[in-house]
Amino acid sequence: MCFARCDSIKHLLILVGLLASALSMSTATFAQEEILPRPAYQAPKAHESLILDLIETQEGWVGVGERGHVLLSTDGQRWTQARFVPVQATLTRVAAADGHLWAVGHDATIIHSHDGGDTWDVQWFEPELEQPFLDVHFTDRMNGLAIGAYGIYLVTDNGGEDWQELNMADLVTSEAIDWEAIEAAASDSDGMGFDRGCYEFMECHLNAFLDLGDGRQMIAAERGYGFRSQDGGQTWESFRFTYPGSVFGLIAVDQGILAYGLQGKVQLSTDFGSTWQLLDSPTQSTLLDAEQDTDGTVLMVGSGAARLRYDPSSGQFSLTEDRLGDAISAVVFTTEGLAVYAGEGGVSHE
């Protein structure tokens, strides 16, 4: 277990979730009882709890976070808690398609809503897997995927009524990695050689998914690994980011793809991941989410209340942060240009 890489909300939650799952499994084994989900409580201060993701839908905004909290808003400023959520698991991501919502999280949880997020039903719940989901994406009402810790990868073609678990080892059909150059560089630096780590058995955490809408898709993983597909996810090719640490998010810009993550590292690729340029980011705060503003700039947020804005046209950064402030895990913009934030302190706006 690498504690040097666990200074972000996402990785801390993975560790906490795995410990909780292990304890639950121990109790369940002793009692010989099935582990069943328990509904989330109605909490007067749910809007001040840890919220990990935000999205905008046709009805408004949806936020998800710890203890199965789901928050709803029509203006991004006033929030109410969903009427019924069937799990108390920490929810890490939420996605929308054709009027439906899916949220994923710890205890290998996938939940679904057909009424704008007011009520939810369980589609997948297997805490014994000890694999929290870290991202979810639907291209339309029927077709979606969920990815997460230790390479977990599920797909559905019927809106989540059934999910099929796939193996990354079977999906990765090619490598765009120069192992000889990597081994030589590692040996020159410390004489120890390069440890492929989680990649050796295709068990890297799959942190984030990007769909460019033309068959090209990309997954950001830990330890500098990534995966890309040009056939809509049927097959994948592995690659390496320039920075060898974890990447927590990907966002498309006019110039290509921005990747951001551990220690404030920001990388740009203009050739769909064949090469990556490490940009001169002015922060070491771990970056967890990003959103493009109406003016084309990208706002990245993260630990230490970091708000890092990047202008793709000029290549310039501007930074606001408070190292003692609450971590920000998600950001969205309203049509009026209002920035809505979620994180350790709940939801806020400016």
> How many domains does the structure of the chain reveal?
1
288 is a domain residue: yes
Mean pLDDT of 181-185: 88
User: Quick one: what percent of the chain has pLDDT higher than 90?
Assistant: 80
Mean pLDDT of 188-193: 65
CATH number at residue 132: 2.130.10.10
Say if residue 26's pLDDT is above 70: no
8 A C-beta contact, residue 312 and residue 254: yes
Other CB atoms within 10 Å distance of the CB of residue 235:
13
Say if residue 181's pLDDT is above 70: yes
Say if residue 111's pLDDT is above 70: yes
The kind and range of the H/E element at 13 are helix 9-31
* Residue 23 banded pLDDT, cuts 50, 70, 90: very low
60 is a domain residue: yes
* List of E strands, 157-246: 164-166, 172-176, 206-211, 217-221, 225-229, 236-240
The CA distance from 299 to 304, in Å, is 15
212 is a domain residue: yes
Query: Which of 11-25, 193-207, 313-327 has the lowest average pLDDT?
Result: 11-25
The CA distance from 54 to 52, in Å, is 7
330 is a domain residue: yes
Say if residue 129's pLDDT is above 60: yes
167 is a domain residue: yes
Domain coverage including residue 300: 3-33+46-349
| pLDDT in the model for residue 218 | 98
Phi, psi of 189 (to 5 degrees): -80, -40
Residue 311 structure tokens: 């202008």
| pLDDT in the model for residue 191 | 57
**Mean pLDDT over the full length of the chain:** 90
Mean pLDDT of 213-218: 96
40 is a domain residue: no
39 is a domain residue: no
Say if residue 31's pLDDT is above 80: no
| pLDDT in the model for residue 189 | 67
* Residue 9 banded pLDDT, cuts 50, 70, 90: low
Residue that has been written with the tokens 């994923």 in this structure: 104
Say how far residue 14 (Cα) sits from the centre of its chain: 11
327 is a domain residue: yes
Say if residue 3's pLDDT is above 90: no
Mean pLDDT of 117-122: 98
b/e for 170-199, b at 16 or more Cβ within 10 A? ebbeeeebeeeebeeeeeeeeeeebeeebb
Q: Please write the tens of the pLDDT for every residue from 244-295.
A: 999 999 999 998 999 999 999 999 999 999 999 999 999 999 999 999 999 9
Q: Which of 259, 289, 246 is nearest to 4 (CA)?
A: 246
